[in-house]
Amino acid sequence: MLNIPQRLLGEALLKSARNHPDKTAVIAKGISYSYAQIKLSAENLARHLKEAGIVKGDRVAIYIENSWEAIVSIYGTTLSGAVFLVINPQTKSDKLNYILNDSGARILITTAILRNEFVPAAEDLKELQEIIVYGELEKVESLSQFRFSNFEEVISKSESKVDFPNIIPNDLAALIYTSGSTGFPKGVMMTHQSMVFASWSLIQYLRLNENERIVLLLPLAFDYGLYQLLMSVTIGGTLIVEQSFIFLASIFENIEKYKPTVFPGVPTIYAMMIASNKKERISFECIQKITSTAADLPAEFMPDLQKIFPNALIFKMYGLTECKRVCYLEPELINERPQSVGKAIPGTEVFLLSPEGNSVPVGEPGILHIRGPHVMLGYWNNERLSKEMLKPGKLPGERILCSNDWFKVDEDGLLYFLGRNDDIIKTRGEKVSPIEVENVIYSIEGVKEVAILGIPDKVMGESIVAIITTDGTAQVNEKIVHRKCLSQLESFMVPGKIVILNEMPKSSNGKIDKKELKKMLQNETDKN
């Protein structure tokens, strides 16, 4: 058989299953699954979707924790020609309702454990037709307007011939929802071509091969987590699935048990590991590569990381959901240029422009622009915002991505991140919209004004601070605000610090002066 290059996302699974049918593809909750098992289960799900009326381009939402079921759902959806969107299982019902409505998802794949969130979220959906549930199905059948199917039964069906739609690389493969400055999540449109290209570019510079055993700690809803799966399947490696990075002891045990070779993390994870290492020495000699993105990896972490992972290459990276990854620092330069985020990933180009669109000299700050096949198609249902991020390129009809982030470049062409041009907060590897948090706090009786800020933090990238004024009509204190946020927001969006002021500083046009608030917080930090 000819070695035809991969064009579509699902072709990686088909090839790996053909070449390594009995090889362990996924280890989840202590159970090993082969490539043949993933292929069969994904194809059965794809048949079910086709028989349910799903056609090319229809959206299928996957609202599940990191699991075997989530992986089968992703590949089953893409093999059917539909577009998948993975929703973080921490997402609350209001936000879930918005994403399902905005995407126009026709099928929701979820778990009975999350019924308290998806049942109220699904009540007024116009496009949704079917809910596929794994777990105790009888507990969620109160939504009589939808057809219900049992996930386990769906993926266990006997094979039947189905004509699947003709998918080409330009077709939409996924919507990846990310927080936006409007307070509503934005659906980043990624084609098969862009995701396949990005996967291979990452595989190339990370020097991955079929013997890799990759740890998955981050949610599959987060592109950093999703691509660990895509890369592992593409190379025919093994993915070791973890539920989260909260329980370090369990992660350490699984590293010793399963001997992974690749450990992808964010600075928060590494800070936790460094703290553990200072209490009780830990060392993972099996790890050959560690990667970090989502927030700046402090140079101060390097000596400790090299002790914890004595045999590992350290890859420091920077990226945007809108193009997956922008640049990386060669691990051989990690001690020489620890502040840099390196150069453009293979097959792409980056350059800096002034706000007026002019070229920027070496060493001077400029806004980073990205050119390449990995750039998104745009934002789903949001042409205005798409035009703000995608600018006319060098060739007729081409569009390049404006990151809205400030960088400088040195004489060797290496990039250095300087700061963000918008209000989006990046904390613990996640993007947080200040407006979304502000809206929750504004719903508390007695709150007058709210400002949510991101303050630089070596561990979390940025820590979230809520600054509040009250109108005196009801009691408002830190405990009340914290409890409200916990009940309506994902844990990473809950402010770590809450400050109540008598008055907010204002700009000349009457808006809350966030720059002044940041100065105030910095002065308070300096005093302490």
| 459-493 pLDDT, tens digit each | 888 999 999 988 787 899 999 999 999 999 999 99
- Whether residue 83 contacts residue 49, with contact meaning beta carbons closer than 8 Å, is answered with no
Residue ranges per structural domain of the chain: 34-190, 245-420, 426-527
Mean pLDDT of the chain: 91
Note the pLDDT tens digit of each residue in 322-345. 999 999 999 999 999 988 999 999
- What pLDDT, on a 0 to 100 scale, did the predictor assign at position 510? 53
Closest of 230, 300, 303 to residue 264, by C-alpha: 230
Which helix (H) or strand (E) segment is 384 a member of?
A: helix 383-389
C-alpha 468/C-alpha 349 separation (Å) is 43
Closest CA to 13 of 32, 45, 40, 47: 40
DSSP secondary structure code for residue 261 in this structure: S
Measured distance CA(301)–CA(375) in Å, rounded: 31
For residues 16 and 23, what is the distance between their CA atoms, to the nearest angstrom? 9
3-class secondary structure, 359: strand
Shortest CA distance to 90 belongs to which of 109, 69, 67, 118? 118
Instruction: Return the biggest CA–CA distance within the chain.
Output: 76
Segment 202-210 shows an average pLDDT of: 98
The DSSP code for 88 is -
pLDDT higher than threshold 80 for residue 143: no
Distance separating alpha carbons of residues 316 and 328, to the nearest angstrom: 6
pLDDT at 70 over 90: yes
Per DSSP, the chain holds a count of helices (H) and strands (E) of: 15, 27
Tokens read off for 116: 């308290």
Token pair listed for 105: 């998802």
**pLDDT band of 1, cuts 50, 70, 90:** very low
pLDDT over 50 (residue 154): yes
Confidence of residue 182 (pLDDT cuts 50, 70, 90): low
Helices (H), 211-361: 223-235, 248-258, 267-279, 302-308
* Dihedral pair phi/psi, residue 171, rounded to 5°: -70, 155
Q: Which residue has the higher pLDDT, 434 or 342?
A: 342
Question: Per-residue pLDDT tens for 96-131?
Answer: 999 999 999 999 999 999 999 999 999 889 899 999
3-class DSSP state of 438: helix
**pLDDT in the model for residue 95:** 93
pLDDT at 514: 82
pLDDT band for position 227 (cuts 50, 70, 90): very high
Domain 426-527 has CATH 3.10.580.10: no
Q: Are 34-190 and 426-527 in the same CATH fold?
A: no
pLDDT of 429 > 90? The answer is no
Residue 379 has pLDDT above 50, yes or no: yes
pLDDT tens sequence across 3-13: 788 999 999 99
Predicted TM-score (pTM) of this structure: 0.86
> Do residues 243 and 271 touch, judged by C-beta distance below 8 A?
no
Q: pLDDT-derived band of residue 140, with 50, 70 and 90 as boundaries? A: low
Of 5-9, 144-148, 250-254, the least confident:
144-148
Choosing among 3.30.70.360, 3.40.50.12780, 1.10.3210.10, 3.40.640.10, the CATH entry for 245-420 is 3.40.50.12780
Other beta carbons within 10 Å of 473? 10
Phi, psi torsion values for 509, nearest 5 degrees = -95, 10
Kindly state the DSSP code that residue 522 receives in the 8-state scheme: H
Residue 527: pLDDT band (50, 70, 90) is: low
Asked whether the beta carbons of 283 and 313 are under 8 A apart, the reply is: no
* pLDDT band at 433; cut points 50, 70, 90: confident
Q: What is the CATH number of domain 34-190?
A: 3.40.50.980
CA distances from 10 to 70, 85, 165, 315, 316 (A): 15, 15, 13, 27, 29
CB atoms closer than 10 angstroms to residue 209 = 11
Question: Who has greater pLDDT, 376 or 295?
Answer: 376
SS3 state of residue 396: coil
Please give the backbone phi and psi of residue 427, each rounded to the nearest 5 degrees, phi first.
Answer: -135, 135
- Residue 25 confidence class, pLDDT cut points 50, 70, 90: very high
Helix (H), strand (E), coil (C) string for 172-208: EEEEEEECCCCCCCEEEEEEHHHHHHHHHHHHHHHCC
Position 221, amino acid: A
For the beta carbon of residue 23, count every other beta carbon within 10 angstroms. Answer: 16
pLDDT (0 to 100) of residue 179: 76
**Distance (Å, rounded) from C-alpha 465 to C-alpha 429?**
17
Q: With contact defined as beta carbons under 8 Å apart, do 260 and 266 qualify?
A: no
Percent residues over pLDDT 90 in the chain: 69
- CA distances for 28 relative to 31, 66, 254, 256, 277, angstroms: 5, 9, 11, 15, 26
Measured between alpha carbons, how far is 9 from 196 in angstroms, rounded to an integer?
6
For residue 524, what pLDDT band results from cuts at 50, 70 and 90?
confident
Q: What's the pLDDT at 144?
A: 74
pLDDT at 247: 78
Contacts (Cβ under 8 Å, ≥6 apart) of 508: none
Q: How does residue 508 score in pLDDT terms, banded at 50, 70 and 90?
A: very low
**What per-residue confidence (pLDDT) applies to 387?**
95
In the chain, the percentage of residues whose pLDDT exceeds 70 is: 95
pLDDT at 268: 77
pLDDT at 142: 66
